[in-house]
C-alpha cells in the first residue's frame, strides 16, 4: 500500500515523499519546508488533488525537443528582422583580426626566449 512520509534532508529541512507498495520512492517534494507540519500539509494537499488530476496522453518534452527549442531560439536571436522591410537580415560576420588594416604596417613578431630551464 502506498504511503506518504516526511523526513529531514541533509540541510536540516523537511521534505515529503510518496512510497509505493514495493517500498520504492515514487514522488518526492522538490522544495524543502521549514517544519514537519508544513511538509505534512503539502503532502496532504498533493494527496487531495492527485485523485482528481486527469491523466494526459500528450507526451512531455524530452531532451531532443528541449535541444531543438534551444536551437530555434538561438537562430531567432541571431537573425534580426528589419521591421521596415520585413526581411531577415543576417548579422555581420566577425572580422578576421589576423589581417592587417589597409594602410597599416604589418606587426613584427619578436622571438622570446623559452622559460623552461635548460
The pLDDT value given to residue 52: 80
Please state whether the predicted TM-score (pTM) of the whole model is above 0.75.
no
Domains, the chain, in order of start with CATH, read 3-50 (3.30.160.160)
10-residue averages of pLDDT along the chain (118 residues): 92 94 92 94 91 75 84 79 49 56 65 66
Q: What is the pLDDT of residues 39-63, one digit of tens each?
A: 999 999 998 888 788 877 766 777 8
Please, which residues have CB within 8 angstroms of residue 34's CB and are 6 or more apart in sequence?
Answer: 13, 14
The pLDDT value given to residue 63: 83
The pLDDT value given to residue 117: 65
Please, which residues have CB within 8 angstroms of residue 26's CB and are 6 or more apart in sequence?
Answer: 2, 17, 18, 19, 20
Amino acid at each position: 500500500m502506498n504511503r506518504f512520509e516526511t523526513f529531514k534532508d541533509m540541510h536540516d529541512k523537511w521534505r515529503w515523499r510518496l512510497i509505493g507498495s514495493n517500498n520504492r520512492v515514487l514522488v518526492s517534494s522538490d522544495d524543502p519546508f521549514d517544519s514537519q507540519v508544513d511538509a505534512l500539509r503539502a503532502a496532504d494537499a498533493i494527496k487531495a488533488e492527485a485523485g482528481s488530476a486527469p491523466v494526459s496522453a500528450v507526451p512531455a518534452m524530452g531532451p531532443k525537443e528541449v535541444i531543438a527549442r534551444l536551437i530555434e531560439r538561438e537562430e531567432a536571436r541571431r537573425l534580426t528582422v528589419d521591421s521596415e522591410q520585413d526581411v531577415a537580415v543576417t548579422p555581420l560576420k566577425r572580422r578576421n583580426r589576423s589581417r592587417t588594416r589597409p594602410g597599416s604596417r604589418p606587426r613584427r613578431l619578436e622571438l622570446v626566449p623559452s622559460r623552461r630551464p635548460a
